Amino acid sequence: MFNPERYTASKAHIAIYKIYQYIYTMVDFFSALMFIVGSIFYFYPSMNFDGTWLFLIGSCFFMVRPLVSILRELHIMRLPVTQE
């Protein structure tokens, strides 16, 4: 697992890697967005409850990041390495 040479072993490997990298990046973006908006909400006492929920959602997104990496690795490991 986590062998960078495998990511470019074939066109299929490259395509799968790109898809998972896109998902990983989007999860990363939305986790940061949740924390930024949650932080802004904390400036207003009436929005503290909503801010807390955004922090929790952002934390869940951070938890999904390693899961995306593991799923990518498992998917790439299952692909056959062919000479193209």
Is 84 among the domain residues?
A: no
Encode pLDDT of 40-52 as tens digits: 999 999 999 999 9
Question: 39-58 in b/e burial notation, b at 16+ Cβ within 10 A?
Answer: eebeeeeeeeeebeebbebb
Question: Which carries the bigger pLDDT value, residue 5 or residue 17?
Answer: 17
40 belongs to a structural domain = yes
Q: Is residue 74 part of a domain?
A: yes
Report the run of H or E that residue 72 belongs to, with start and end. Answer: helix 48-78
The answer to whether 54 and 41 have CB atoms below 8 angstroms apart is yes
Number of domains in the chain: 1
The mean pLDDT of 10-29, rounded to a whole number, is 95
83, part of any domain: no
| Residue 53: predicted pLDDT | 96
Residue range 72-77: mean pLDDT, rounded: 94
Which pTM does this prediction carry? 0.84
Residue 23 resides in a domain: yes
Query: Residue 48 belongs to what domain range?
Result: 4-78
* 28 belongs to a structural domain: yes
